[in-house]
Structure 1
Amino acid sequence: MVWAWQLWLSPRPPHRSITATQSSFTATGNSARYDVLTVPDGLWGVRETHYIDNPRVKAGESGPPLHLHLLQDEYFQVEQGVLGVILDGKEHVITKDDGILCVGIGSRHRFWSHQSAKESLVFRAWADPCKDIDHILDVNFLRNIAGYLADCHAAGLAPSMFQLMLFYYDASSLLCPPFLDWMPLWLLTFVHYVLAVWIGAKFLGYKPAYPEYTAKPRTD
């Protein structure tokens, strides 16, 4: 239950779109589509399509902000278009001819459709360990953050940094905004814990996941 004073301090969308049962879901302003891939042996993957004619894609805003993962390597393989990647302060331009890009644990990175592209960006992404266990980057993390951001956009609300940090922290990941870039990893982790758990969850009443966005865990 969210109290009126919590809504006053930190407004949130009046309703959440139900996307939990959908095999694909969209990003803010329909700038990108996420298709959940069925992979053998209980692994997961996602194919992202970033539409070149969308204003957010043209502006390089369809990808996530700078962040890192504490427990997983992340992998990208371009199928079409051009993927721009910032990896530990260096920019890379990736096409399908470059094979699989591995972003290691602790590497600060972000990605977007590169401005040199002549067509929509399509790539596959996955992370290790890929199985559905708690508190790692998985499809439900992507569903929750995409659903929340899309609902905020539709309602004309600015997303809450505390909610975003809680999503990331619960997935053993950290945001790396410029004003925190100087922090060593241990301090950045502690700051996320305070802002995400103590302020975001305990004080403001945010959740690390919502049933409207979250697919049911597999039972097989």
Structure 2
Amino acid sequence: MPPPRPRKITAGEQVVSVFDGAITFRNLPHPTRNFNLEVTFSDHHPHLLRLREHEPPPHFHYLQVEYFQVIEGSLYVDVGPNRVLLTHNDDELPVPPWVRNRTIPGPLSNDQQVTKFLLSGPAPKGKESRMLDYIFYENYYRYMDEMVSTGQAIDFIQILCMFDAGGSCIMLPWWVPCGMLVSRALGVVVGRWIGAILGYQPYYREWTTDWDTAARRMRSSLWQRRFAG
């Protein structure tokens, strides 16, 4: 059974607000980066309090460097085996391709109500159809928000489909041999091929501001071109 269509039309909104306002972001211009998101965490929001207790699974990107720079507050960034606490006093932190990572809200403070940081990255070379950019984040967070707000279970195939389009993979447990390569294969076989057969698409018109670019990318895939109409 294909996944249900999005309930809300949010394409074109300048600020993406998800999880009842716990996380918001907008895309800012940058002279050399393909995307440059100004992300705001509402530090004391119940959703972020839960996120501190139940950390999201790590992931990795295989095409692009991702950069983090804190403007206000603090942020934990896991890079490989290391956990780095970033504040506004720190330089920009790069996360290279093929390195597992995740972000977690920093320590709570009664004096600090929000955390703001920049999340950015360049376009990959020669891989225009699959990349991290505003389109990916717009669709991924809209999907997660809809599932959480309606109490529905997160669909693993949908996540794999979106991550594959974003040049990203979920990290598998450490005991899986060649875990990164297996995860990469899962994204292609399950997320892209099987997912497309079942009706899963990486981008949805209802959520995507730059639909022309999203449609062009899906048309480049034999499996996903039927979703580009």
TM range (shorter): 0.7 to 0.9
- Supply the distance in 2 between the matched residues of 1:157 and 1:59 (Cα, whole angstroms): 17
The answer to whether structure 1 residue 150 and structure 2 residue 141 are counterparts is no
- Checking the alignment, whether the CA contact within 8 Å between 1:44 and 1:130 is kept in structure 2 is no
Q: Deviations over 1:21-46 (max 9, x none)?
A: 01111223321001111234684311
The answer to whether structure 1 residue 89 and structure 2 residue 84 are counterparts is no
- Supply the distance in 2 between the matched residues of 1:77 and 1:42 (Cα, whole angstroms): 14
The partner residue of 1:193 within 188, 194, 218 is 188
The answer to whether structure 1 residue 174 and structure 2 residue 169 are counterparts is yes
The answer to whether structure 1 residue 47 and structure 2 residue 38 are counterparts is yes
Instruction: Report how far residue 179 of structure 1 moved.
Output: 7.1
The answer to whether structure 1 residue 212 and structure 2 residue 193 are counterparts is no
Instruction: Report how far residue 102 of structure 1 moved.
Output: 0.3
Q: Structure 1 residues 53 and 101 mapped into 2: Cα distance closer, same or farther (>3 Å)?
A: same
SS of 2:10's partner is: coil
Q: Deviations over 1:105-161 (max 9, x none)?
A: 111000021234552110011012279942100000000001111111222211201
Instruction: Report how far residue 64 of structure 1 moved.
Output: 5.7
Structure 2 letter corresponding to 1:84: Y
**Higher RCO (C-alpha 8 Å, min separation 6):** 1
Q: Deviations over 1:158-193 (max 9, x none)?
A: 120110111001111111143776534322211222
The residue aligned with 1:3 is: none
- Supply the distance in 1 between the matched residues of 2:74 and 2:140 (Cα, whole angstroms): 24
Structure 2 letter corresponding to 1:126: S
Q: Structure 1 residues 67 and 33 mapped into 2: Cα distance closer, same or farther (>3 Å)?
A: same
Structure 2 letter corresponding to 1:88: G
The answer to whether structure 1 residue 111 and structure 2 residue 108 are counterparts is no
SS of 1:94's partner is: strand
The residue aligned with 1:78 is: 70
Q: Which runs of 5+ in 2 are unaligned?
A: 214-229
- Checking the alignment, whether the CA contact within 8 Å between 2:27 and 2:38 is kept in structure 1 is yes
Q: Structure 1 residues 186 and 15 mapped into 2: Cα distance closer, same or farther (>3 Å)?
A: closer
SS of 1:29's partner is: coil
The partner residue of 1:159 within 123, 138, 154 is 154
The residue aligned with 2:15 is: 24
- Supply the distance in 2 between the matched residues of 1:42 and 1:89 (Cα, whole angstroms): 27
Aligned residues: CA RMSD: 2.6
Q: Which runs of 5+ in 1 are unaligned?
A: 1-5
The answer to whether structure 1 residue 122 and structure 2 residue 116 are counterparts is yes
Q: Structure 1 residues 14 and 212 mapped into 2: Cα distance closer, same or farther (>3 Å)?
A: closer
The residue aligned with 2:24 is: 33
Q: What is the count of residue pairs matched by the alignment?
A: 208
Instruction: Report how far residue 197 of structure 1 moved.
Output: 2.0
- Checking the alignment, whether the CA contact within 8 Å between 1:165 and 1:174 is kept in structure 2 is yes
- Supply the distance in 1 between the matched residues of 2:153 and 2:117 (Cα, whole angstroms): 28
Give TM-score, length-normalised by structure 1.
0.84
- Supply the distance in 1 between the matched residues of 2:118 and 2:124 (Cα, whole angstroms): 14
